[in-house]
């Protein structure tokens, strides 16, 4: 195909805020995980698909297969849909303890 550009699993985005490698970032309706660090307004490679351990809201239990959303205000994952962007699904259960702040998410790269 003459019009094929790339698979699109990783793309370059302009950081909407300062990010470190492994941080989630939302640009418009595109969510990705930063492959490196970038300051606000700098280009950063973002991975759009795969399974990642990402910061989540503590005191929120997750079940396998639960829809996971990005809370762009607090820069963390949640299972609350209201005012948040759908980014994927939980692939491991997570307890509801206040210290349970990492969740394993399969990014769906769809919106």
Please state the domain extents for the chain. Answer: 10-107
Q: Is the pLDDT of residue 66 over 70?
A: yes
- Kindly indicate the confidence band of residue 102, based on its pLDDT and cuts at 50, 70 and 90: very high
Average pLDDT along the chain: 95
- 81, two tokens: 């849909």
- Kindly indicate the confidence band of residue 25, based on its pLDDT and cuts at 50, 70 and 90: very high
What span, in angstroms and rounded, lies between the C-alpha atoms of 31 and 13? 10
| Average pLDDT of the residues in 10-38 | 97
| Average pLDDT of the residues in 99-107 | 96
Q: Which residues contact 64 (CB under 8 A, 6 or more apart)?
A: 90, 91, 92, 93
| Average pLDDT of the residues in 63-75 | 97
| Average pLDDT of the residues in 28-41 | 96
Reported residue count of the chain is: 111
| Average pLDDT of the residues in 62-81 | 97
């Amino acid at each position: 195909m003459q019009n094929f550009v790339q698979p699109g699993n990783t793309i370059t985005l302009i950081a909407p805020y300062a990010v470190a490698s492994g941080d989630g970032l939302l640009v418009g309706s595109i969510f990705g995980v930063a492959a490196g660090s970038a300051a606000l307004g700098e280009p950063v490679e973002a991975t759009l698909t795969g399974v990642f351990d990402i910061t989540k809201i503590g005191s929120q239990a997750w079940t396998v297969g639960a829809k996971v959303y990005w809370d762009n205000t607090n820069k963390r994952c949640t299972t609350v849909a209201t005012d948040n962007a759908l980014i994927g699904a939980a692939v491991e259960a997570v307890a509801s303890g206040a210290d349970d702040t990492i969740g394993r998410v399969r990014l769906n790269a769809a919106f």
